[in-house]
Structure 1
Amino acid sequence: MCSHYEAPESDRLLAGFGVTPETQLPLDLWPLYQGPFIRMRSEAQCDDQTPRLEAIMGQFGLLPFWAKDRKFGRHSYNCRSETGNTKPTFKSAWKKNQKCIIPVAAFFEPDWRSGKSISTRITRTDGGVMAVAGLWERWKEPTGEIIHSYTMLTINADSHPFMKAFHKPSDEKRSIVILPNGLIEDWLDSTVEQTMSFMQPYPPDRLVVDNRSK
């Protein structure tokens, strides 16, 4: 499960998605950090001059409306797609079809094959930005401030030729859901009933271990 990743710089977001947040915070992200996510604008917001997509900043770690404080996000940065529609933390965002894309330049997973955990940096083979499928939510601070947040959707990776190498040998292997570039708007436009059809493994030959692992 992914708890550490790198967001792309603003110029890469613009090149890949046509939008970027107004502010750019640190690119090295962990749960509770602020990072960019991309969602579809409502029809009322769209016109000939306004792009369909918008990029906003939110907390990495989804906050359901009933969360008591932002620290809840330490446990909600990933959502198991198999149970997302029933788990109390995620079911509201799932049923409201609040889909998003989390742009990822690289993500980190622990490689235990040597007998100890080695944090490993993973990128696309071509160096492109990964479009990770996610859910977003809005949450109100006690002060009244609205906080956006997001979570990455995951699938089983026990048989994935690349992702099965990560996490402890005794643990279930999991992978974030990386969408092909051609399916980004299809994902954001899809219905609740179509959600699980996008929960597919990314081709293993399109992922590579980067030597700049931390």
Structure 2
Amino acid sequence: MCSNFEPATLDQIEVIIESQYALNLDGPLADYKPHVYPKDYCPIIIPTEDGMTVVAGQFGLSPKWADKPVDYSTYNARLEGIENKKTFEPPFTHNQFCLVPMQAFFEPYYINGKNHWQRIYQKDAEAFTIAGMFEFNPHFDEPIHTFTLLTHNADDEAFMSQFHQPKKEKRSIALVEADKRAQYLEASHNEIIDLMSKVEGDRFAFGEG
């Protein structure tokens, strides 16, 4: 699971999408936080008819049928059985996938039974994109985009299995590599698994942050 992260800067996002883009900085993106937690806003990349577009997304998916923010955790969505989840099934089966640009994310690391939060980042310090799913909710006083990070079991992953409580299931978010980003945004829900990559120790490192 991933409950907090450092979003990429706007300059880094411009490099990621490889083009100039129109961005309204009068709203939640005017001063988005350098460290994002559930309910905070940050930039996400969504598909449009004209290609990639950057919008402000609230961390924690609010389903389209909700008339107010949900009172349970929706910042991560387990890929296993996602089609059977009332909150996540509609955007999943309607292929509403997004990219979440990050500089780093944080996971708990236990030493002698005590949690030490670790900052996980690319060794080259470059930004990267994480597989997400979004919803647009028009029913709130101010219509918003919201999003969740897609997760998978990481029990057998050498790098990501180091985190979270001992003897508990290990979960991980997934990378979308640069050459797969456009495909991921346009993919059907039956195709996205093949467009995701694992977070691995050859490229990533961690330390207390």
TM over 0.5: yes
Residues 89-132 of structure 1: CA distance to partner in whole angstroms, max 9, x if unpaired? 10000011001000111100000133201111000121111210
| Alignment partner, residue 54 of structure 2 | 55
1:82 and 2:80 are equivalent in the alignment:
yes
> What is the CA–CA distance in structure 2 between the aligned matches of 1:85 and 1:129, rounded to whole Å?
30
1:12 and 2:19 are equivalent in the alignment:
no
1:194 and 2:191 are equivalent in the alignment:
yes
Q: Let me know the Cα RMSD of the aligned residues.
A: 1.7
What's the secondary structure of 2:166's corresponding residue?
coil
Letter in 2 for 1:191: S
8 Å CA contact retained: 1:38, 1:102: yes
8 Å CA contact retained: 1:109, 1:166: yes
Aligned residues: 202
1:103 and 2:101 are equivalent in the alignment:
yes
* 1:58-207 matches, cutoff 5 A: 58-72=57-71, 75-143=73-141, 145-207=142-204
8 Å CA contact retained: 1:94, 1:135: yes
> What is the CA–CA distance in structure 1 between the aligned matches of 2:112 and 2:12, rounded to whole Å?
35
| Alignment partner, residue 24 of structure 2 | 22
> What is the CA–CA distance in structure 2 between the aligned matches of 1:208 and 1:27, rounded to whole Å?
20
Contiguous gaps of at least 5 residues in structure 1: 47-51
**Higher deviation after alignment, 94-103 or 8-17:** 8-17
> What is the CA–CA distance in structure 2 between the aligned matches of 1:94 and 1:160, rounded to whole Å?
25
Letter in 1 for 2:175: I
Identity of aligned residues (%): 31
Q: Would the alpha carbon gap of residues 86 and 124 (structure 1) be closer, same or farther in structure 2, given more than 3 Å must change?
A: same
What's the secondary structure of 2:77's corresponding residue?
strand
Larger helix proportion, structure 1 or 2? 1
8 Å CA contact retained: 1:113, 1:165: no
> What is the CA–CA distance in structure 1 between the aligned matches of 2:199 and 2:140, rounded to whole Å?
40
> What is the CA–CA distance in structure 1 between the aligned matches of 2:199 and 2:177, rounded to whole Å?
8
> What is the CA–CA distance in structure 1 between the aligned matches of 2:70 and 2:96, rounded to whole Å?
21
> How does the TM-score come out when normalised to structure 2?
0.90
> What is the CA–CA distance in structure 2 between the aligned matches of 1:210 and 1:134, rounded to whole Å?
25
Letter in 2 for 1:116: K
Contiguous gaps of at least 5 residues in structure 2: none
8 Å CA contact retained: 1:21, 1:57: no
> How does the TM-score come out when normalised to structure 1?
0.88
